[in-house]
Amino acid sequence: MLLLPLTCLVLSGMVDTTPAPAAPVAPAAQHAAADAGPEPVLTVDMLTKMEAFWTAFMKEPSAVRTNGVKENQESVSAKNGTVDVVVPDVNIVAMAAKYPSVAADLKQAGLTAQQWESYRKEFYSAAFTWSALGSSEDARNAFPPSSTLGHNILVLMSSTKEYEALKVIIPSPLPAGVALQ
Residues 87-127 have pLDDT tens digits of: 888 999 999 999 999 999 999 999 999 999 999 999 999 98
| Residue of higher predicted confidence among 35 and 149 | 149
Which of 123, 130, 141 has the alpha carbon at shortest distance from 47?
123
Over residues 6-24, mean pLDDT: 34
Closest CA to 171 of 161, 180, 181, 159: 180
**Greatest pairwise CA separation for the chain in angstroms:** 75
Residue 60 DSSP code: S
Rounded to two decimals, the pTM is 0.74
pLDDT for position 176: 61
Distance CA 163, CA 181 (A): 10
Higher pLDDT, 38 or 91: 91
What pLDDT shows up at residue 49? 96
Give the HSE-up count for residue 50: Cα atoms under 13 Å, Cβ half-sphere. Answer: 30
101 CA to centre of own chain: 18
Mean pLDDT, rounded, for 64-88: 86
Average of pLDDT values for 53-77? 90
In the chain, domain spans: 40-168
C-alpha 17, offset from chain centre: 39
Nearest to 153 by CA among 169, 137, 168: 137
Evaluate if residue 10 carries a pLDDT over 50. Answer: no
Whole-number Å distance between alpha carbons of 180 and 66:
25
pLDDT at 16: 35
Asked if residue 27 lies in contact with residue 91, where contact means CB atoms within 8 angstroms, the answer is: yes
Whether the CB-CB separation of 176 and 61 falls below 8 Å is answered with: no
